Amino acid sequence: MTMSTPEEKNKTGLPLVHLGIARPEELAPLFADLRGRFDEECACACDESSWKQFRDTWLGRKSGVLTQITDNWLKPATQELKRVVGQELNQLRAHVESNIEERRKSIEAGADETASARERVDLSLPGVIRPIGSHHLIRQVLQQIEDIFFSIGFSVVEGPEIETPYYNFEALNIPEFHPVRDDMDTFYLDLPKGAPQPLLLRTHTSPMQIRTMEKRQPPVRVIVPGKVYRRDNPDATHSFIFHQVEGLAVDNDITFCDFTGTIEYFVKQFFGPGVKTRFRPSYFPFTEPSVEFDVSCIFCGGSGAAAGGGTCSKCKGSGWIELFGAGMVDPAVYGFVKYDPKKVSGFAFGMGIDRLAMLKYGIDDIQVFFQNDARFLRQFP
């Protein structure tokens, strides 16, 4: 049974007694060995970093070879040996110090500029490659949108994906049998008999408008990122799940001009200052006036013409791309949350993130977002 220390075992680490040396004449070969080892290592120290390591090995204050000799050989030596060890040590020290300094000078003088091709690194080879992951593209786009709106005073809130018809429809001024419900074909949950109310997968992030206003008094400025679901058969441009960012601003002085200004600010931050915008009147039950928001086509620069002739396929030649729906909050909605529609006004918008990401990055199949192919994920680190 033994116990070991982790330190390297070499001769300078042990007292002379342990090396079996008792007579002064036995010292000379010992020091000669060391000098030989030094010269060998010196020849190998041909750049700055290896030179530093070499210097520390020999002259390091704590555990350099010279320090070890002083601590382990000289200090515990018998009177008889001490004198000779001292002499030998001084000679070795002089040799070591002068050669180390020489070496430094020669390295600095660029002597190693002439190092052989074999010794040089091949810069065309890769370094050590550590596997590094990636952010999902949708997550990146969501973050960018969140940051833009956060910078102009919008807080971020989240809500349930499983909703009640009240929050998803009724409180947003969409009663049962409203034609808009036909456009939002909805998934319902299979609940046990006697369930107090049906549950559905939210078809938009708008329910959080209601939930937020129920909890907070104006001023309200929030965005709501999240997943939404519509019962569409999947293809390249449809998915029954996609991501939305809902926005809502309500205060006692918010106007249509504030609304268009906010949206324009966002779009120029997101797509760049060169993009043109337009608002077209539209219809949503929970906004009035309602608009569809278009940006100039980022593929043809708004000309409507394809680069190779013919019409641009992305905007069908119109020069515009429809981005999302929005509008001033319909006063009927305030009735559901007990705000006074005569005192407050505001705007709301709901943008599809998947579509924004597809436009911005030229993705032609929405399904790639959910297949999670590592090769796709790696494209957007």
Partner 1 sequence: MKIVYNWLKDFVDVKATPDELASRLALSGTNIGGIENGPHGAVIDAEVSSNRPDSLGHYGIAREISAIYKLPLKPVTPKPKESTAAKAADAAHVEIQSPELCGRFTARVIRGAKIQPSPQWLKDRLEASGVASINNVVDATNYVMLELGHALHAFDYDKVRDHRIVVRRAKPSEKIRTLDGIERILAPGICVISDGDSSRAVGIGGIMGGAETEISFSTKNILLECAWFEPVAIRRAARALKLHTEASTRFGRGADPEMAELASRRCSELILQLAGGELLSGVVDIYPGKRAPKKILLTRAELLRIMGADVPDKEIESSLSALGFSPVRVDQNRGAEGSLLAAWECTQPSWRADVEREIDLIEEVARIYGLDKFPPRLPAARQGAARLPHYEAEARLRERLIGLGYQEILTIPHVAEDRDALFRPPDVQPARLANPLSEEANVLKSTGIVTMTTALEWNLNRGQRNVRLFEIGRHYRLRGSESIETPILTIGATGQAREKGLYETAREYSFADLKGDIDALGAFAGGSTWNEGGSAWLNPAGRGRIALHNEAIGEAGELTRRVAEQLKLRQEIFLAELQLAPLYSAIREAKESRKYQPLPRFPGVERDFSLLLADGTHFSDVVAAIRALNIQEIANMEAVDLYRGKNVPAGQYSLLVRVTFQSRETTLTEAQLTDFSARIITALEKQLSAHLRST
Residues of span 139-198 touching partner 1 by CB under 8 A = 139, 150, 152-158, 160-162, 177, 179-180, 182, 187-192, 194-197
List 21, 42, 250, 312, residue binding Zn ion (CB under 5 A): 312
Judged by CB under 8 A, the stretch of 20-28, 33-41, 104-112, 259-267 that binds partner 1 is 259-267
Distances 139 to 200, 247, 358 between C-alpha atoms, Å:
24, 17, 13
Please list every residue from 313 through 332 that binds Zn ion, using CB under 5 A: 314-315
Judged by CB under 8 A, the stretch of 13-21, 77-85, 129-137, 203-211 that binds partner 1 is 129-137
List 20, 110, 133, 309, residue binding partner 1 (CB under 8 A): 133
Asked whether position 299 contacts Zn ion by CB under 5 A, the answer is: yes
Rounded to 5 degrees, what are φ and ψ at 284?
A: -140, 140
Sheet holding 277-284, edge to edge: 155-156, 220-229, 241-251, 345-352, 320-329, 287-296, 277-284
| Contact (CB, 8 A) for 64 and 6 | no
List 65, 69, 248, 254, residue binding partner 1 (CB under 8 A): 254
Question: Which is nearer to Zn ion, 208 or 300 (by Cβ)?
Answer: 300
Report the C-alpha gap between 14 and 77 in whole angstroms.
Answer: 12
Asked whether position 129 contacts partner 1 by CB under 8 A, the answer is: yes
List 297, 329, 337, 357, residue binding Zn ion (CB under 5 A): 297
**The entry of Zn ion, partner 1, none that residue 47 binds, CB within 5 to 8 Å by partner kind:** none
Asked whether position 22 contacts partner 1 by CB under 8 A, the answer is: no
List 41, 251, 275, 360, residue binding partner 1 (CB under 8 A): 251
Please list every residue from 333 through 352 that binds partner 1, using CB under 8 A: 345
Q: Radius of gyration of the chain from Cα atoms?
A: 38
Asked whether position 117 contacts partner 1 by CB under 8 A, the answer is: no
Q: Find all residues with CB under 8 Å of 303, minimum gap 6, and list them.
A: 297, 312, 319
Report the C-alpha gap between 304 and 314 in whole angstroms.
Answer: 9
**The entry of partner 1, Zn ion, none that residue 257 binds, CB within 5 to 8 Å by partner kind:** partner 1
Report the C-alpha gap between 291 and 254 in whole angstroms.
Answer: 16
Three-point CA angle 74, 78, 83, nearest 5°: 60
Closest by CA position to 373, among listed 142, 137, 143, 132: 137
Point out which residues bind Zn ion (CB under 5 A).
297, 299-300, 312, 314-315
